[in-house]
């Protein structure tokens, strides 16, 4: 088990991590989410041992993770860190980059292991290609394969698909994350993309200005976000005054609703004017404007007529579970 215990870290006089704590069982997948500058990358660096903490501690099982004040070469053998700086060997081939991190005592298994990892990153056709000839996204995939070469117990990923073409991301996600789960590799993935999280992460840690804002199972956090900041990490979020739905609601009470939570209804809704519609494939994302100037994003199966007066509503359950004052 990984244990992060009240860690604090500052760059000079700037506090970056503020009393961050969590535990992660072996083989589980934790996603770390938050806006840019919230401390996601710093947290991974701290866990890997690249930073000397101001206070608090980190341990894996019975072993403490020691920082640069104790280790000349940071990082422990049981963990790998895939940063946004790929640090590959540009003048050698993809296979050679991966082989460099395989055990010298298991030469007879190298070929099969390299092929397995090339399949995970969907780059079987690039085995003999020199890294310098690859795109940034392809190099990022090689960095992932190299980190997996010796099957680390703990894998730290910092925006692992940021340089990869959109059409390749889904293939890689559905190759990589089930593979890690099958191998029992514990994963911490710092990302801003909800597509990296919803289908794969067991738990989500949300950071805001270096503080833990939420730490919950993924589905629970998505369905019941603590506030607008948390909800907005997953999708567009509507913060709607509760008085749109309930006459006696307090002025400072709101509900949080994703676009798919709001639909055109025939009765028991609030009035709005359709002001825009966006084709999204199997549905339309539309915008409405209420009389008090609130913009509402909602979904429809067909395009709505612009400037048409419509009635919008949400489920009664949502009115109970998504109340917020922030």
Q: How high is the pLDDT of residue 76?
A: 79
Q: How high is the pLDDT of residue 229?
A: 95
Task: Give the pair of three-digit tokens for residue 188.
Answer: 């911490």
Among the listed residues 294, 288, 292, the one whose alpha carbon sits nearest the alpha carbon of residue 306: 288
Considering the domain architecture, whether residues 210 and 126 belong to the same structural domain is answered as yes
CATH of the domain at 60: 3.40.50.300
Considering the domain architecture, whether residues 157 and 40 belong to the same structural domain is answered as yes
The stretch 298-307 carries a mean pLDDT of 93
Considering the domain architecture, whether residues 202 and 102 belong to the same structural domain is answered as yes
Q: Which of 231, 247, 268 is the last residue of a domain?
A: 231
Q: How high is the pLDDT of residue 85?
A: 79
Q: How high is the pLDDT of residue 109?
A: 76
Q: What is the pLDDT of residues 208-225, one digit of tens each?
A: 999 999 999 999 999 999
The stretch 265-277 carries a mean pLDDT of 92
The per-residue pLDDT of the chain, averaged, comes to: 91
At 60, phi and psi to the nearest 5?
Answer: -120, 110
Q: How high is the pLDDT of residue 73?
A: 76
How many domains are there within the chain? Answer: 2
* CA 194 to chain CA centroid, nearest Å: 6
Other residues' Cβ atoms within 10 Å of the Cβ of residue 36: 7
Considering the domain architecture, whether residues 313 and 176 belong to the same structural domain is answered as no
If phi over 0 gives left and psi between -120 and 50 gives alpha, with beta otherwise, what is residue 119? Answer: alpha
pTM tops 0.85, yes or no: yes
The stretch 41-45 carries a mean pLDDT of 96
Angle subtended at Cα 104 by Cα 145 and Cα 126, rounded to the nearest 5 degrees:
35
Considering the domain architecture, whether residues 123 and 195 belong to the same structural domain is answered as yes
Q: Which of 205, 231, 257 is the last residue of a domain?
A: 231
Residue 72 has pLDDT above 60, yes or no: yes
Q: What is the pLDDT of residues 78-122, one digit of tens each?
A: 899 998 877 888 899 999 999 888 876 567 778 889 999 999 999
Q: Which of 231, 247, 265 is the last residue of a domain?
A: 231
CA distances from residue 190 to 42, 63, 292, 321 in whole angstroms, order as listed: 10, 23, 38, 28
As a whole number of angstroms, the distance between CA 39 and CA 51 comes to 13
DSSP code of residue 190: E
Considering the domain architecture, whether residues 25 and 158 belong to the same structural domain is answered as yes
In sequence order, the β-bridge partners of residue 309 are 273
Q: What is the pLDDT of residues 313-325, one digit of tens each?
A: 998 888 877 766 6
Q: How high is the pLDDT of residue 70?
A: 78
CATH of the domain at 299: 2.40.50.140
Instruction: For residue 7, name the pLDDT band (cuts at 50, 70, 90).
Output: very high
Q: How high is the pLDDT of residue 104?
A: 63
The stretch 10-15 carries a mean pLDDT of 88
Q: What percent of the chain has pLDDT above 70?
A: 97
CA distances from residue 296 to 85, 118, 256 in whole angstroms, order as listed: 40, 45, 11
Considering the domain architecture, whether residues 289 and 226 belong to the same structural domain is answered as no
Considering the domain architecture, whether residues 60 and 36 belong to the same structural domain is answered as yes
Considering the domain architecture, whether residues 188 and 316 belong to the same structural domain is answered as no
Among the listed residues 200, 190, 227, 225, the one whose alpha carbon sits nearest the alpha carbon of residue 38: 190
Considering the domain architecture, whether residues 45 and 193 belong to the same structural domain is answered as yes
CA distances from residue 208 to 46, 146, 151 in whole angstroms, order as listed: 17, 31, 32
Considering the domain architecture, whether residues 128 and 143 belong to the same structural domain is answered as yes
As a whole number of angstroms, the distance between CA 247 and CA 312 comes to 16
Considering the domain architecture, whether residues 112 and 8 belong to the same structural domain is answered as yes
**Domain residue limits at 153:** 2-231
Q: What is the pLDDT of residues 159-182, one digit of tens each?
A: 999 888 888 899 999 999 999 999
Q: How high is the pLDDT of residue 201?
A: 97
Q: How high is the pLDDT of residue 325?
A: 63
């Amino acid at each position: 088990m990984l244990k992060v215990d009240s860690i604090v870290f500052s760059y000079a006089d700037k506090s970056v991590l503020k009393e961050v704590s969590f535990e992660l069982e072996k083989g589980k997948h934790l996603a770390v989410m938050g806006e840019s500058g919230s401390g996601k990358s710093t947290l991974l660096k701290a866990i890997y041992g690249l930073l000397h903490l101001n206070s608090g501690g980190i341990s894996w099982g019975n072993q403490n993770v020691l920082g640069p004040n104790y280790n000349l070469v940071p990082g422990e053998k049981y963990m790998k860190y895939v940063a946004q700086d790929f640090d590959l060997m540009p003048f050698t081939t993809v296979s050679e980059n991966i082989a460099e991190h395989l055990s010298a005592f298991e030469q007879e298994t190298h070929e099969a292991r390299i092929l397995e990892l090339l399949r995970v990153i969907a780059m079987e056709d690039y085995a003999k290609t020199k890294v310098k000839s690859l795109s940034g996204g392809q190099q990022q995939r090689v960095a992932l394969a190299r980190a997996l070469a010796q099957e680390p117990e703990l894998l730290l990923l910092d925006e692992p698909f940021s340089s990869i073409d959109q059409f390749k991301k889904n293939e890689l996600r559905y190759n990589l994350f089930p593979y890690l789960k099958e191998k029992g590799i514990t994963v911490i993935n710092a990302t801003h993309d909800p597509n990296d999280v919803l289908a794969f992460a067991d738990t989500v840690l949300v950071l805001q200005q270096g503080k833990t804002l939420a730490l919950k199972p993924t589905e629970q956090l998505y369905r019941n976000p603590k506030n607008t900041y948390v909800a907005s990490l997953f999708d567009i979020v509507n913060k709607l005054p509760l008085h749109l739905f309930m006459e006696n609601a307090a002025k400072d009470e709101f509900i949080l609703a994703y676009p798919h939570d709001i639909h055109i209804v025939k009765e028991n809704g609030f009035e709005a004017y359709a002001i825009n519609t966006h084709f999204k494939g199997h549905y339309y994302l539309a915008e409405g404007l209420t009389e008090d100037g609130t913009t509402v994003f909602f979904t429809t199966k067909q395009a709505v007529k612009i400037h048409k007066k419509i009635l919008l509503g949400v489920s009664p359950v949502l009115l109970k579970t998504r109340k917020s004052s922030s």
